[in-house]
Structure 1
Amino acid sequence: MRILLLGQYGQVSQELQRALHGTGELTVLGRDQLDLAQPELIRQHVQRLRPELIINAAAHTAVDQAESEPELAFAINATAPGTLAEAAADLGAALIHYSTDYVFDGSYTEPYRESDSTNPLSIYGRSKLAGEQAIQAVGGMHLILRTSWVYSQHGKNFLLTMQRLLQERESLSVVDDQIGAPTWAGTIAQTTAQLIEQWRSGQAGPWGVYHLTAQGETSWCGFASAIAAYLRSQGKSVATLQPIPSSDYPTPAQRPLNSRLNCNRLQQDWQVQLPTWQQALSDCLATQSLHN
């Protein structure tokens, strides 16, 4: 199977390159090879490579920066996915695309289901929702996988930032009123590989929008506490954590207070098991130990 993976150095893309090794003929295009802000280039590459599956792991993910560059955010997060969906449909290819909890405003008291009303608070969230809608408008074989609080061993993310700051400082203030599920990029990649296997073996569930996060919930401060506990278990001294409300840590882009996503539909329709966030964090940290 010919697979085109967009995004090269992102957290999910790097894990996908590992998880999909040996699955088929994998072509990876990063921003150096393909500028997603140019729809015509996207069409040309897809026509030339003629993939049977396109995986879009590329995005404008700088949430606060997007507030000051909405045109670029919408070009990459909204227009490009729509163009990919059209190009995939022309070839009869499938498209897997990643979206976000930021399509919701976080005012709901339960974990969000796929059918719940969207109401993004930020340019990033609005651009990602527009990307979902562009893909859905085309139709065709597609999976839109909404995830949350992604971390890994590479790039810029909460895990790596906390590991550094917890060892550099005596005290560290972390937001405690935003609730969600920290999701390891490895979990996203391994689940994606499973979904592809189900599809290729004729066991596919319905196409459409699904939620894909680790199971359970915590706050950013709770996540930081788990990272601190790991560092202490390695004999390292760590900062004292101070829980604070979001209002004490203003950012250009507003974040939803409730980022919990209900993943039951994905588990039922596609027979996948998702780990708890604690188990996935443990697995991620174990891979870090192996690399060090």
Structure 2
Amino acid sequence: MIWLTGCRGMLGRELALVFEREGLDFTGTGSETDITDPEAVRQFIESRRISWIVNCSAYTAVDKAEQESEKAESINRLGVRNLALAAEKLNAKMIHFSTDYVFRGDSGNPYRETDETGPVSAYGRTKLAGEQELVSACSKYFIFRISWLYGLYGGNFVRTMLRLMNERDSLGVVCDQRGAPTYAAALADNIAMLIKSDKSDYGIYHYSDDGDISWYDFASEIYEYGKKAGLIRKNTVISPITSDQYQTAAVRPAMSVFNRDKVVRVLGFCIKDWKTNLHEYLERIANENL
């Protein structure tokens, strides 16, 4: 059985749909099972035969984390430690999702899994701490660092852009932060494939859609294809701005592009171009009225 935590979040819901489609036996939990409470975790696992733990629980409010670092650490570090200890006790495999924010963001090249970390935000520090807890407590783990996650469920950049582009005549979007989007549905397909293959190539992996773009590039494509799909009904001027012109509480990495060679070579993941996945996502919204 698979234990899917955070099953009502953006990635958790996509994973639940794929697990159902693929006939994978799983049980999903949300806030009713507090992963930050060791006793709650112990009680949950004691009567179940769990072979995989897939952790989608996370504190992801990047700016709020600057003032709520203890809350972020409780979920992103201590919660991960409790799950890792449970996985080790069960001799289960654990999948955990981390972030590009574990890096400083000043590299001139796409980040490899072996590159030095150096988070510059409270969110990034708690996510890195979670990685370290997992590595130290569990022998059978997969950590997937992902960037710019979006999907059908919950708030995300694409949803925000669609709303603003239907409300405003002009919009400024940051052009000096580079990375690549991660489409939740495509990631979920790859995770299901990994579980079904039962691979044991444990370690840290970098995953995102194929690309090296700015938020401005992302927004421009959302606008162009969103209009074609009938999701944007007005004309909006999209203008590039710098990070200095859009101040946030937390510092964002200026460069978050991943080298994705390892996840393809070792695990056989399918990585599509970011535009291909974005178009599929927008068509899903348009066709299913989501």
What TM-score comes out, normalization by structure 1 length?
A: 0.95
Matched, 1:27 2:18: no
- What corresponds to 1:210 in structure 2? 205
Encode CA deviations 1:28-56: one digit per residue, 9 max, x unaligned: 1011x112332221222122333111100
Q: Aligned to 2:45, what secondary structure does the other structure show? A: helix
Task: Tell me the distance in 2 between the aligned counterparts of 1:176 and 1:59.
Answer: 27
* Aligned amino acid, residue 224 of structure 1: A
Q: Aligned to 1:106, what secondary structure does the other structure show? A: coil
Q: Which runs of 5+ in 1 are unaligned?
A: none
Task: Tell me the distance in 2 between the aligned counterparts of 1:178 and 1:126.
Answer: 19
- What corresponds to 1:59 in structure 2? 58
Alignment equivalent of 1:272, drawn from 269, 272, 281 = 269
Alignment equivalent of 1:243, drawn from 240, 243, 252 = 240
* Aligned amino acid, residue 203 of structure 2: G
Q: Which runs of 5+ in 2 are unaligned?
A: none
- What corresponds to 2:108 in structure 1? 109
* Aligned amino acid, residue 247 of structure 1: D
Alignment equivalent of 1:222, drawn from 206, 217, 220 = 217
Cα separation, partners in 2 of 1:284 and 1:234, compared to 1, 3 Å: closer
- What corresponds to 1:256 in structure 2? 253
1:16, distance to aligned residue in structure 2 (A): 0.3
* Aligned amino acid, residue 115 of structure 2: D
Q: Which runs of 4+ in 1 moved over 3 A?
A: none
1:188, distance to aligned residue in structure 2 (A): 1.4
- What corresponds to 2:146 in structure 1? 147
* Aligned amino acid, residue 274 of structure 2: W
Encode CA deviations 1:65-106: one digit per residue, 9 max, x unaligned: 111111110010011111111111111111000000000010
Task: Tell me the distance in 2 between the aligned counterparts of 1:37 and 1:101.
Answer: 23
Cα separation, partners in 2 of 1:68 and 1:10, compared to 1, 3 Å: same
* Aligned amino acid, residue 229 of structure 1: E
Instruction: Work out the number of aligned pairs and report it.
Output: 286
Q: How does 1:2-17 map to 2 (within 5 A)?
A: 2-17=1-16
Contact 1:217/1:277, CA 8 A, preserved across alignment: no
Q: Aligned to 2:120, what secondary structure does the other structure show? A: coil
Q: Aligned to 2:238, what secondary structure does the other structure show? A: strand
Matched, 1:234 2:233: no
Encode CA deviations 1:183-242: one digit per residue, 9 max, x unaligned: 11111111111111221xxxx251010011101111111100011001221352231011
Q: Aligned to 2:46, what secondary structure does the other structure show? A: helix
Contact 2:177/2:215, CA 8 A, preserved across alignment: yes
Task: Tell me the distance in 2 between the aligned counterparts of 1:54 and 1:238.
Answer: 46
Task: Tell me the distance in 2 between the aligned counterparts of 1:48 and 1:127.
Answer: 31
Contact 2:19/2:25, CA 8 A, preserved across alignment: no
Contact 1:43/1:84, CA 8 A, preserved across alignment: no
C-alpha root-mean-square deviation of aligned residues, in Å?
Answer: 1.2
